[in-house]
Chain A
Amino acid sequence: KNEVEQSPQNLTAQEGEFITINCSYSVGISALHWLQQHPGGGIVSLFMLSSGKKKHGRLIATINIQEKHSSLHITASHPRDSAVYICAVRVRGGADGLTFGKGTHLIIQP
């Protein structure tokens, strides 16, 4: 079982819909990152969380440390939000790098 699980794996929605992507992890962590990757493109860091909630524009990220769960929300979704969204954690006591989920492929249709 992967240490980081994301759901859904694939998500297609209509423009304007509210989007939620979930991330669950099975290990102790010191930080959780949400990343965005466009096809053939680089990786953009969206959020780094260790507790609570962060908001940037139409994006909101929350984390519940007790439940080992994080969510990424997109409000008023737009076709340009179409990308792969990746959850990654810094495992407490583990390797210094990040451990990644497999990503959620999001398509927003006009």
Chain B
Amino acid sequence: NAGVMQNPRHLVRRRGQEARLRCSPMKGHSHVYWYRQLPEEGLKFMVYLQKENIIDESGMPKERFSAEFPKEGPSILRIQQVVRGDSAAYFCASSSQGMNTEAFFGQGTRLTVV
């Protein structure tokens, strides 16, 4: 499980700033998923990426949020002009062949917008 690396673990941003969350999947995994856990709520799917492609972004807010998974380097979840409602834990998961196989989660990034 430690193989999925997320950083930073904690991130504080002022309203209006940008937040960049990084996720390095387990070695050999090319499927990356981002999930958001709002305070006192369950986890929600945001986006599914494979290398250089967004496969499913049906859970992503339409504005200010974007994600990428470049050929080299980690997957990035980018939140522009953050607002207090963006405060949440953001988890990344990776798998070898999609969610019909075992998924491995990272430790999460806890974003606080002040």
Collect the chain B residues with CB atoms within 8 Å of residue A31's CB: 99-101
Q: Give the total of B residues in contact with A, Cβ under 8 Å.
A: 28
* B102 closest partner in A (C-beta): A48
- With both chains docked as a complex, state the minimum distance between the C-beta of B33 and any C-beta of chain A, in angstroms: 5
A101 vs B43: C-alpha distance in the bound complex, in angstroms? 8
Collect the chain B residues with CB atoms within 8 Å of residue A103's CB: 42
- Asked if A99 is at the interface of the complex by the 8 Å CB criterion, the answer is yes
Collect the chain B residues with CB atoms within 8 Å of residue A67's CB: none
Collect the chain A residues with CB atoms within 8 Å of residue B35's CB: 97-98
- Asked if A12 is at the interface of the complex by the 8 Å CB criterion, the answer is no
- Asked if A45 is at the interface of the complex by the 8 Å CB criterion, the answer is yes
- Interface positions of B from 68 to 111, Cβ below 8 Å from A: 91, 93, 98-108
* A94 closest partner in B (C-beta): B58
Given known pairs A86-B43, A96-B55, A98-B45, the reply for A43 and B105 (CB within 8 Å) is yes
Asked if B42 and A101 sit within 8 Å, CB to CB, the answer is yes
Given known pairs A30-B100, A31-B100, the reply for A86 and B42 (CB within 8 Å) is yes
Asked if A48 and B101 sit within 8 Å, CB to CB, the answer is yes
* Among candidates A30, A42, A88, residue contacting B108 with C-beta atoms closer than 8 Å: A42
A101 vs B44: C-alpha distance in the bound complex, in angstroms? 10
A42 vs B109: C-alpha distance in the bound complex, in angstroms? 9
Asked if B42 and A97 sit within 8 Å, CB to CB, the answer is no
Collect the chain B residues with CB atoms within 8 Å of residue A86's CB: 42-43
7 additional contacts (CB under 8 A) given A45-B103, A95-B56, A96-B48 = A31-B101, A41-B107, A42-B91, A42-B106, A43-B43, A97-B99, A98-B43
Residues on B lying within 8 angstroms of A by beta carbon are: 1, 33, 35, 41-48, 55-56, 58-59, 91, 93, 98-108
